[in-house]
Structure 1
Amino acid sequence: MTRIPLRPLARILSAREKGENPDAIERENIRLRHEAMRDKARIRAEGRLLLLGVAFLAAFITVGARMGVLASTEPAEPQTAATGASIIAQRADIIDRQGRILATNLVTHSLYAQPQLMVDPARAASELAAIFPDLDEARLKDDFSGKRKFLWVKKKISPEQMQLVHEIGDPGLLFGPREMRLYPNGAIAAHVLGGASFGREGVHSAEVVGVAGVEKTFDGWLRDPANGGAPLALSLDLTIQSTVEDVLYGGMKLMNAKGATAVLMDVHSGEVVALASLPDFDPNTRPAPLLKGDPSDSPLFNRAVQGVYELGSTFKIFAVAQAMELGLVNPTTMVETKGPMFWGKFKIRDFHNYGPQLSVTDVIVKSSNIGTAHIAQAIGGERQQQFLQALGMFDPTSIELVEAPTGKPLRPAKWPEITTLTVSYGHGVAASPLHLASAYASLVNGGTRITPTILKRDKVETGARLVSEATSATLRDMLRQVVVRGTASFGEVPGYAVGGKTGTADKPLPNGKGYHKDKVIATFASIFPSNDPKYVLVVSLDEPVETSGTEPRRTAGWTAVPVGAEIIRRAAPLLGLRPELEPVAEAGVIRVRN
């Protein structure tokens, strides 16, 4: 930049010649220079202000646009930025229909070691082995003295154990906070709840994931923060469940059974109020699954859902229901029961000789295989299959348990007439006790199909009609007669008008060729009260033997029926059902005159 001199020589000389003051020239040049500097500074400042205004405008536009985007999108749970996937440790509670806790979380700690920080590894190993007897002291010493920089000692410890480890005082023993799944009622409803375990694990948290039962079925829902920690409400009633399990366990031991199961269901809503399978387990210390042998030998096996059995004479009510709905018979129709009944090389026999004929009602009351076979013969195989399909006896139940798909009924690939005859009295098709409970509920609730559920329902959805209300009422009366004067006479519970049907089926051999001669599945499918059923109860015992008499007795009437009756006797009042006692004759009154 070229600067103009303040005292130009030419102008100074000219001013002196004219007699002017030369200093005025310098002052004028200083003024002009300052004005030029001021103008340049002003232009520079105005440019900077303009640039700053543009920057602020862009920032406001950016913030406003972002706020508009956030306002127009769905709300989402904020996530903390971190390397790797975050571990979701939270898990919602599971409650029964009354709001009582079945499964919850407990804050605990894990114990881990950093050997490079340990002062006395040998002493620490010895002290830990004394606190935790399941740990191997020699192995701990080897691990602590090795090259490993980190190792788990215990994945979860109690507060008392944590205090004892604190007292060891070794800086290399460290604790990490975490949550564990707790089942405060122990083994009650174990097969429904299933259990949980740790998934991904970190030092400061661990992922709790479901491994079976509703814990696995609803794993995503229980871990979803969007639910706001709301509990999962089941249809089970803790009090009823405990009662059923207690009675079932006593009955299993009394009847010398290998296993037992019971299903108590609302006949109108399909809600399962109690579901028990024995032997059971404690989900707090869930055992390892069997790797070989019979799956039913494992306590993890859910007999009510996974166990598919030939359920014997409990199927007879299906044949009679269909025949009445088709108009082939009525309760008083006489059916041939003369035996044995021959079909080719096969013989069909009754447990007792019931004479040449029985009414349809007495076929059910006395449980005649021959009479039921004749009824099924009139129905025909194709229509029989359609009815059983409508009852849900050919497909896995849709109950919300992860094990349900494995309980698929077994049915023959072909359906000759002999299969039609044997299936009518419960041989040839294998289904679970839950299938049986659902089918009975559908027949006695007025004749509409119900879907079993383990979740609490707020409203009842009416299913497809299977039989008419008149047929349903007749079936209820037949089942009542079975208890009053038939094979389930031990099932009477005063005040509750129990109805039901017994079923005793020989167990098939493991190779599938033939049946055991002295091993059975004994089942009692019952309803109460029979005049207006509220609940259906199915009790099934695996290989029961009643030994109070001179001869061992294995039939359901001697084994499963007394157990079912005791469950009803204890559970019915807890369910809010008032006993309705039959009126007695008024006592005679004698008037005495003085």
Structure 2
Amino acid sequence: MRLLPAFLSKTPRTAKTAGAAAPARKARVRSPGDVTSGRVVLAMLAFGLVYGAIITRLVLLGVADEATGGLGSRGMTASSRPDILDRNGEVLATDIKTASLYAEPRRVVDPDEATEMLASVLPELGNDKVRTALSSQAGFLWLKREVTPEQQEQIFNLGIPGIKFESESRRFYPGGRTVGYVTGHVNIDNKGIAGIEKYVDDQWLGDLHALGFASTPNLEPIRLAMDLRVQHVVHHEIATGMQRYHAIAAAGIVLNAKTGEVVAMTSVPDYDPNNPAEALDPNRLNRASAGVFEMGSTFKLFTTAMALDSGLVRLNDSFDARSALRVGGFTINDFHGKHRVLTVPEIFIYSSNIGTARQALKVGLKGQQEFLKRIGLMDKVPTELPEVALPILPRRWSDLVGITVSFGHGISVTPLATAVAAAAIMNGGYLLPPTFFPRSEAEAQSIGKRVLSEQTSKEMRYLMRLNVTKGSGKRADVPGYRVGGKTGTAEKVVNGRYSSNKRRNAFIAAFPIEDPEYLVLVVLDEPEPEKPGMGATAGVNTAQMAGAIISRVAPMLGVTPRFDNDGEQPIAVNY
């Protein structure tokens, strides 16, 4: 027989036992104490259910916060970025903390009232679109990014349920307009979209953020080759020059000729990276690197160097400039013709189109293209800044094209490319890729490419100095700093034809010329005479501007002035 536990044992029910039990149940009477105890149990059960529901709701809301980006959510905070410093440690860009306004619509009690209260501080939020959004059951909604501390305090004091703030990183540029075209700027999510900011994102910072390190603190600062002091001077001088000579735009560059470092680069009209919307104006273009122009007679620097380096032309050679040069039905004249045979130095200091064209013809079209390619003027400048334009080259290279290119027409390049090529002519013949980051002379030499001989560079330095002491660059001379330079005045193309009253002027300067450390390039777009009756050529305006920059920045850059005549070896020049 199987044994069962006592509480499972079966007792056979008989009619007798069943009948006996029934009267006992009917006879039992519930006491008042039993009734009270039951009510207590029911009340406890009811309270338990209520509190359980509340706890469950809180847990669900907490989970929803995490899923929809509520307070404490990592997904809402804009990415942190490293500081950007100039070569001396001055801050050019940094992160600051700011508050952004958002809503959790499902927690908003009265959408109409909330909309009206928000509009009392931020009028742009008082519309039907916001009211409809606040009436939804969404978990998260941005209302306004980057509110001011005053706006934050006012909205906080309104005490609107479901309206909250999130702390974010916002980019701030202490240098403002002075550095805008180099640092670039970020978007509302603190992601770089222009300048060095974009370069850094493209190189590594974007990947770091993509891996989830959006709020990584204490990132190593990024140091640039830029000198903020020099940048300020260049910006001030080109902005002043643009106003003084009634130009529509201007640009300036200071380049270390021995390392390729961009020490300063700016353009006006400019923009404030703290207000990136200004950059949408088409006229606010970084003309120093993102604009391409016919650089005019500054190209004679390259044509003369090409001719000398080819071995087909020597410094004491002469060329016939007595009459105009006619090619393919076109006539090439000089601006201020001497109408005689000119030596190579005379061609350079008088900026003779005829003499320069004859030098180019002697080298030939193939040699000309090879040389321009060699010094980087037929390719995009290889550097870190994203905003760099490609050159515009002639579709077909004919004798006429070769002649016009020799004096800077028919080919359009960036001022940055012009400065880099000029530095190669001045520094002993090494083409150095420009960089916006620090680079030593040893590093530069390891990546530099020889593009012409030391002897050619020496002769070109002599011609550059001669042009400042005897030629069109006299206004660029700065006592003690031995400046060499070349002017360029290019007629602008208007409606497919060269205009006689609209020009683009430029001046290339190098100092100290016996062993150039720095190169300065200034460009003015459509300058006019400073006063009625005055000229508006490069020798009058951009040469003066370059001299003003050099006089101010040379001491900052540690260039020691010299007041002796060592190295000044004038040659006989027929006037």
Task: Answer whether TM exceeds 0.5 for this pair.
Answer: yes
Q: Tell me the amino acid that sits aligned with residue 356 of structure 2.
A: T
Partner of 1:335: 319
Give the residue type in structure 1 aligned to 2:174.
P
Specify the alignment match of 1:419 in structure 2.
Answer: 401
How far apart, CA to CA, are the structure 1 residues paired with 2:205 and 2:247?
37
Task: Establish whether residue 369 from structure 1 lines up as the match of residue 369 from structure 2.
Answer: no
Task: Give the distance between the partners of 2:126 and 2:83, measured in 1 at CA.
Answer: 38
Indicate yes or no: 2:478 matched with 1:493.
Answer: yes
Q: Which deviations, in whole Å up to 9, do the C-alpha atoms of 1:6-50 show, x marking residues without a partner?
A: xxxxxxxxxxxxxxxxxxxxxxxxxxxxxxxxxxxxxxxxxxxxx
Shift of 1:535: 0.4
The aligned counterpart of 2:136 is 147
Q: Is the 8 A contact 1:120 1:170 kept in 2?
A: no
Distance of 2:292 and 2:236 partners within structure 1 = 23
Give the equivalent residue in structure 2 for 1:454. 436
In structure 2, the partner of 1:59 is none
1:548 maps to 531
TM-score by length of 2: 0.80
Deviation at 1:396, TM superposition (A): 0.5
Match 1:519 to one of 484, 487, 502: 502
Report the Cα distance in structure 1 between the residues aligned to 2:249 and 2:404, rounded to whole angstroms: 26
Aligned counterparts of 1:252 and 1:368: Cα–Cα separation in 2: 27
Gaps of 5+ in 2: 1-65, 567-575
- Secondary structure at the residue paired with 2:335? coil
Matched letter for residue 460 of structure 1: E
Q: Distance in 2 between matches of 1:211 and 1:574?
A: 32
574-583 or 538-547: bigger deviation: 574-583
1:402 Cα deviation from its structure 2 partner: 1.2
1:83 Cα offset (Å): 10
Q: Secondary structure at the match of 1:461?
A: helix
Partner residue of 1:137? 126
Q: Which residue does 2:547 correspond to in 1?
A: 565
Partner of 1:213: 195
The alpha carbon displacement at 1:121 in A equals: 4.7
Q: Which residue of 1 aligns with 2:336?
A: 352
**More divergent stretch after superposition (119-128 vs 320-329):** 119-128
Give the drift of 1:282: 0.9
Contact 2:382 2:434 in 1 (8 A): yes
Structural RMSD (CA): 2.5
Contact 1:490 1:561 in 2 (8 A): yes
Amino acid at match of 2:273: P
Counterpart-to-counterpart distance in 1, 2:159 and 2:74? 32
Alpha-carbon distance between aligned partners in 1 of 2:501 and 2:455, rounded to the nearest angstrom: 40
Query: 365-374 or 181-190, which moves further after superposition?
Result: 181-190
SS of 2:312's equivalent in the other structure is coil
2:456 paired residue among 457, 460, 471 = 471
TM-score, structure 1 normalization:
0.77
The one of 99, 104, 109 equivalent to 1:114 is: 104
Q: Is the 8 A contact 2:103 2:134 kept in 1?
A: no
Query: Which residue of 186, 207, 231 corresponds with 1:241?
Result: 231
User: Contact between 1:94 and 1:103, CA under 8 Å: does it hold in 2?
Assistant: yes
CA shift for structure 1 position 82: 9.1
The 2-side partners of 1:445 and 1:122 are apart by 71
The whole-number CA distance in structure 1 between the counterparts of 2:131 and 2:219 is 44
Residues 1:434 and 2:416 aligned together: yes
**Contiguous gaps of at least 5 residues in structure 1:** 1-80, 200-207, 585-594
Tell me, in whole angstroms, the C-alpha distance in 1 between the residues paired with 2:222 and 2:332.
50
After TM superposition, give the deviation of residue 327 of structure 1 in Å. 1.9
Query: Which residue in the other structure is 2:151 paired with?
Result: 161
Contact 1:124–1:168 (CA<8 Å) still a contact in 2?
Answer: no
Note the C-alpha offset of 1:329.
Answer: 2.2
> What is the CA-CA distance between 1:136 and the residue it aligns to?
4.7
AA aligned opposite 1:187: R
Give the AA of the match of 1:231. Answer: P
Structure 2 distance, partners of 1:130, 1:312, is 58
- Alpha-carbon shift at residue 289 of structure 1 (Å): 5.7
CA contact (8 A) 1:523 1:560 kept: yes
Aligned counterparts of 2:365 and 2:217: Cα–Cα separation in 1 = 50
| CA deviation after TM superposition for structure 1 residue 468, in Å | 1.5
Contact preservation (8 Å) 1:338, 1:356: yes
1:191 aligns to 2:181 (yes or no): yes
Select the residue among 234, 247, 252 that pairs with 2:242.
252
In 2, Cα distance between equivalents of 1:185 and 1:412 = 40
AA matched with 2:177: A
State how far apart, in whole Å, the 2-side matches of 1:141 and 1:346 are.
Answer: 67
2:466 paired residue among 474, 481, 506:
481
8 A contact 1:265–1:271 mirrored in 2: yes
Task: Assess, with a 3 A threshold, how the Cα gap between structure 1 residues 418 and 162 changes in structure 2: closer, same or farther.
Answer: same
State the match for 1:389 in structure 2. Answer: 373
Q: Deviations over 1:168-214 (max 9, x none)?
A: 12222211121111112212210111100134xxxxxxxx2111111
**Residue type at the aligned position of 1:98:** N
Figure out how many residues of one structure are paired with residues of the other and give that number: 485
Q: How many angstroms apart in 1 are the aligned matches of 2:493 and 2:125? A: 46
Matched position secondary structure for 1:284: coil
What's the secondary structure of 2:165's corresponding residue? strand
Mapped partners of 1:161, 1:136: distance in 2? 13
Report how far residue 272 of structure 1 moved: 0.1
- CA distance in 1 between counterparts of 2:329 and 2:387 reads 40
CA contact (8 A) 2:106 2:135 kept: no
Which protein has the larger Cα radius of gyration, Structure 1 or Structure 2? 1
Does 2:256 match 1:266? yes
